Amino acid sequence: MSSAIHAVLEERGATRRDLVAGHSLGEYSAIVSVGGLTPAEGAKIVRARGKFMQEAVPVGSGSMAVLIGGSIEQAQEICTEAAGGDVLSIANINAPGQIVIAGTKAAVDRAIEIAKSKGVRRAALLPVSAPFHCALMKPAEEKLQPILDAAHFKDLWVALVSNVDASPIGTATAVRNALLRQVVSPVRWVESIQHMISKGVRRFVEIGPGNVLTGLIKRIDSSVELINVSDVPSIEAFVQKGKA
């Protein structure tokens, strides 16, 4: 959907940008938008990625939870204390005071109780089908590697700020490597946005359904301009603004 909307904007001459980024799966859309993959090949990889992630952990044995109101240091302490020999780690650093953790269901359940005792404002399970972006996804990473190796990546027209390193990359080799590591690594969204702002980015355009990312960016830095392009009216408004 994001790639389709972007293609319309490109056709209308409204896709000037200095950096791109995408959150988790959205990183593939961002890569397609700057020539790293064709839409068809991107879709093929994404389908395999989803299948492998779902197969990596038996249904019901993994889980994810969001911690609202705590710091990264608190989240790390909670994971260390709750792990008890199981896999449990930070999966997404989405915004100040919004961190997602992932691991075995037992460890995540323990973490929720510990978080409450440590003063985290809210700790709740997420309605997801698997524990993404943690070590339990290692089997998915191993299955995805040959597919990424065989894919026809190209150097990007515009640099991508990657989830895993929160820094810009542009070569086909670097993009392929980042997508592989992304499977088991946390999404460093806060650092990615902060890096973009440090490079002078003042306008962020979220392309695709919903406005989750604009909401997260607003919490990271409320001074930047935020635009969401998700349907025909917002496409028309964005195109007209660019012509004004």
This prediction's pTM: 0.94
Q: 153 with 38, same domain? A: yes
* pLDDT greater than 90 at residue 99: yes
* pLDDT greater than 60 at residue 213: yes
Q: What is the pLDDT of residue 243?
A: 63
Q: 9 with 62, same domain? A: no
Name the catalytic one among 24, 167, 230, 234. 24
What is the total count of domains within the chain?
2
* pLDDT greater than 80 at residue 244: no
d(C-alpha 52, C-alpha 144), whole Å = 7
Known active-site residue 133: yes
pLDDT tens figures, 169-184? 999 999 999 999 999 9
Q: What is the mean pLDDT of residues 218-232?
A: 96
d(C-alpha 149, C-alpha 180), whole Å = 10
Report residue 129's pLDDT band, with 50, 70 and 90 as the boundaries.
Answer: confident
Q: 78 with 33, same domain? A: no
CB 20 within 8 A of CB 191: no
Known active-site residue 117: no
Q: 29 with 79, same domain? A: no
* Domain stop point among 96, 129, 162: 129
**Domain containing 80 — which CATH number?**
3.30.70.250
Report residue 116's pLDDT band, with 50, 70 and 90 as the boundaries.
Answer: confident
Name the catalytic one among 33, 133, 162, 195. 133
